[in-house]
Structure 1
Amino acid sequence: MPNILIVDDEFESRNAVMDYLATSSIGYYTVHEAVTLEKGELLLKKIKPSILFLEVSLIDGNGMDLGQKALEWSPDISIIIMTYLKEFDLVLSSINLGFVGYLLKPFSKTEVHKLTERIHTHSLFTESKDLFYKENKKERHPDLANPIQTALQFIQSSYKEQITLDEVAQSVYLSTSYFSRLFKDEIGVTFVDYLMTYRIDQSKSLLKMTTLPMEVIANQVGFTTGAYFSTAFRKKEGCTPSEYRSLFDSK
C-alpha cells in the first residue's frame, strides 16, 4: 500500500488534503502527517512515501530544502508544493527542482484530484515503460537478411531510450556509414528523421489521452528535454504540443 506524507504546520490544510484524497482515484494509500521539517525528515526516511505534500513556509525552516532532500533520497517521489505565496519565482524553482505540482492555498478538491490523477497516470506509464524496457533487453536475434526491417523493430521497441545511429547499426552488424545510406535508400528518410517522427507520433496519444505534463511526455517518448520536444513537435506538426492537446480538450 503506497504511503502519502503531508508536511504542513496548518491543520486546516492537512485536513483538506486528506478529505480530498479520500475521494480521489489513486486507490489504496496510507496518509502520514508532520508539522515540522524535523518530523517530516524522520518520516521521509522511515516510510518512504510515494507522494509528498509540502508546505513551503514551516515553523522550523524552508520546505523547499526538505523537498530537495526527498528527491535525493528517493528520485521517484512526487512532490507537491503548498503555499499562500503567489510568486512566479517559487513556481519556477519548484519546476527546476523536479517537483510535480504547486497548490496555491486555499486550494480546491478539483486541483488536488487533477494532480493526484496526473501522478497516478505517470506512475502507470513508468511501470509499463520499465517492464517494456526489460522485456526488450532480452537477447535479440537480428534478421541479417533484412537489416533495415530489424533496425525498425529495434527503434520501435527502444525509442524511449537514448538510442543512436551507431547503436542501431551495430545491432544489425553493419558499419554506421553503410547502414545510414541503406536506411535512407529503403525508408526514404534518414535514421534521425525517422526516429524523430516516430517519437512525435507516439507522443500524440499521450497528449490526447492523458494530462501528463510536457516534461513527462517528452521523457516518455525519448526526448531529453521538454523544450527540445516542443521545438521538434512544432517543426513537424506546425503547432506546439500544448496547442495540439487543446484541440482535443475542447471536444
Structure 2
Amino acid sequence: MYSVLLVDDEKWVRTSLRKVIERTGLPFEVAREASHGLEALDILKEAPVDMVLTDVRMPVMNGMSFVQQLRQTAREQSVIVVSGYDDFAYVQGALRLGVTDYLLKPVEVEEMRACLEGWLQARAGGQAAGAPKASCDPADRSPVEQVLGYIREHLGGELTLTEAAARVHLNPSYLSQLFKQQLGRGFVEHIVEMRMEEAKRLLAATSLRVSEVAQRVGYTDVAYFSNTFKRSAGCTPTEYRRCPPA
C-alpha cells in the first residue's frame, strides 16, 4: 500500500477525500492528516509518505506556501493539489511548483482513480528506467552533516554539544573543532543561525504569532528571541514579517 498525507483545514473534507481514495480500489491508504501546511511539514519530517493531497486555502500556511517550502527540501515529494477554487492562477502556480495533478472539489471517485492510476504508471516507468536515487542513509554522511540534520529536526528543543557529539560517537571538543574547520563558526553560533533562518521562514510563510515562532525555534523568552532576531536580521520579527526580503 502507498501512504497518503491529507492536508485540509476542514475535517469533513479530509474524511470525504479518505472515502474517495478507498473507493478507487487502488493500493493507497491515508496514513496521516494535517489541518495546514506547517503541520504537514512537521509530519513529513518524522513520517515520510508516498503522496500528499493538499488544499490551497488554509490558515497558518496555505497550500502554495507549503509546496514551495517542500520543494526547498532535498527529498522529492509527489503532491496533488485539491482545491474548491476554479482559478487558473492557482493551476498555473501549482504546475510551476511541479505538482503531480490538480483536482477540483468535490472530487469524484473516477477523477481520483484516474489521477492515482496516472501516478502509479509514472512511478512504474521511473522504476523501469532504473533512475538512481540519492542515498538517505545517515552512515553515508560525515559527522558534521549528521549533526546538522539532527539540529534541523530539533530546533525547538534543547541542543547541546555533548549530546550532539554522543550521537556521532565523537569527543565534544573534537566535534567543536570540526564545526569551526568545516563551517567557519562554532557549534552554538551555527545553532543560532539555523534558528534565525527557520524563524525568518516561519514569519514569511505562516501566520503564527511571534511567541509561537519563538517556541518553534527553541526560545521560551520572547524578548530574548526578538533581541537575538534583531541582531541577526537587522530588524524585529514584526518588522521582518511586514516587509520580508524578496
Instruction: Calculate the TM-score normalised by the size of structure 2.
Output: 0.50
